[in-house]
Amino acid sequence: MKIILEADLSGDISEQTDCFPDVHDEWYAKYVCYAKEHAIIKGYNDGTFKPGQNVIIAEALKISLESFNETIDQSSKTTWYEPYINFVHNNSIFSKYALLPTKEMTRGEMAYLIHQLLLQKEGKIQFTGIRNVKSL
């Protein structure tokens, strides 16, 4: 989360560090609290953040895309993560067939995703929502 927020941060991160019962004064607490304060994350139904739990692809996509303020079409969905999977597929970042939403996201996949989001933010690429299919 620190990498994502630092990559796209347009404001200051508050020093709040006690936003979940399982997040207090750890080095990452202010980033977690910033993300919660800005509705990037909500935590789990039991009110915890579960900092020791690995991040799955669906969660990583939501956190990344929400952090970069991408417009996500929420109009039709069967699962909470479907709009995020569709966004990265439709914008040729990842094929939705290559992503298993409940699989842990690798560092390489996360680095690639952040790189694509930064390129778009800098105007070097444009997300059109139309899959770029190369002709044979």
- Band (pLDDT 50/70/90 cuts) for residue 135 is very low
Average pLDDT over every residue of 61-68: 91
Task: Tell me how far apart the alpha carbons of residues 119 and 113 are, in angstroms, rounded to a whole number.
Answer: 10
Whole-number pLDDT of residue 134 = 41
Look-up: residue for tokens 């929400």? 66
Q: Does the structure show a pLDDT above 70 at 118?
A: yes
CB neighbourhood size of 14 (10 A): 11
